[in-house]
Amino acid sequence: MKIKTVNLQLTTHFNLKEFVIHNEQYFLDLPEANQKVIVSEALEQAKKLEAFRIAIGNKPLFILSGLRSPEYNKSVGGAPDSFHMFMKATDVTYQGVKDVWLHDFTPAQTLFSGVIYYPKQLFFHLDRGNRRFWSRDGGFSAI
């Protein structure tokens, strides 16, 4: 059965609609098999975000970007092979990230294989792609 609504609670704190922000219609128009892959990836991402949320002191996480259609990814200047297009990446921010991001980088690295902190825009890119850690905009780089 094709999924006809993005309102699907994945974990205690995360709903599918948060992961398809900006690309709801794209998701709804996908073939059933592709939708299932996206939901399964979003669930994996949500489980790790729940763990990250606990690790940083149970602060609510705000998802800025999750699934991206290839067109949307291009329009926001995403990498051509961005993990966002496969729902293996989420950009998140939370209260006080500016002051605690370096401290929180450690739990992020234990949960996600790709961690990028954007010091100007104040958010973490967290993905389950190949292992690499760095910070955009001349900020921080590790491993």
Q: Which residues make up the interface to Zn ion (CB under 5 A)?
A: 89, 91, 125
For CA atoms 132, 74, 40, 126, the dihedral sign is: positive
Residue type, 31: P
Run of H or E including 124 = strand 123-127
Report the SS3 class of residue 139: coil
Question: Whose Cβ is closer to Zn ion: residue 35's or residue 90's?
Answer: 90
Residue of minimal Cβ distance to Zn ion: 125
Minimum CB separation from Zn ion for residue 4, in Å? Answer: 27
Cβ proximity to Zn ion, 53 vs 128, nearer residue: 128
β-pair partners for 62:
93
Q: In the bound complex, what is the minimum distance in angstroms from residue 75's beta carbon to Zn ion? A: 14
- CA–CA separation, 64 vs 17, rounded Å? 12
Q: How far is the CB of 89 from Zn ion (least distance, A)?
A: 5
Q: How far is the CB of 65 from Zn ion (least distance, A)?
A: 6
Complex with Zn ion: residue 9 or 92, whichever CB lies closer = 92
Percent helix, strand and coil across the chain, each to the nearest 5: 40, 20, 40
Which of 3, 113 has the CB closer to Zn ion?
113
